[in-house]
Structure 1
Amino acid sequence: MKKNLIWCICFLLVLAGCSKPEMFKANQIEEIRIEENTSSLDNAKIVNDRDVVTQFVDAINNAELDSIKFSPTWRILMTDEKGNVHMVFCTKHDFKYKGKFYKSEEDLEQILMLGKK
């Protein structure tokens, strides 16, 4: 009986450690600013649509750590409700945040409607 209880506790501890913490909370992000050419601020696009913000944040939160290196197309500046700005560099499925690389199953460009014109 004790052995089963110990195994059960170990299993629950492993499960508790498996949940990924969210990088961002969608309801706390006020605005997303998208810059393609970092040398010119004239091309910036501002996204305030709650559905788009939520979908983008969910895609980032669901991404997996990856060891890729890439040349980012977009610089994303996300402003939270406290005025803090979080910078994410991204391409279609890959992004970099706080020095770590991630791969998203979702198309980040499509979510933010950044397709080439």
Structure 2
Amino acid sequence: MTITHATGVGPTTGIILTDTLPAGTTFVNATPPFTLLGDTVRWDFSNLDEQEARSVHMALSVDSATTDPIINADYGVHSDQAAFVRGMPVMTLLGKLVFMPLAVKSP
């Protein structure tokens, strides 16, 4: 995820970026420093100057029983100067395992 301070005059402060793990996933790792609170990953930034951007990454594993698409719909950012802004849902399709028996006959 990338956040950019695209509006306003001067820096924004007290930035908090959060992402709740989608159903059917397990947390693996994230860009440090982060805090894992239950199923929510949180990054705190002291400030962001105008047009400055910060990027973070989060790695998840998909639970073996999960076959439905993974939808990340509960993430966003707020700061001392801005109310919470929710990100657009992101969907990841999962491939399905297909068992195809192969029979070989000799001539």
Q: TM-score, normalised by structure 2?
A: 0.31
More helix by share: 1
Structure scoring higher RCO (CA < 8 A, sep ≥ 6) equals 2
More strand by share: 2
Q: TM-score, normalised by structure 1?
A: 0.29
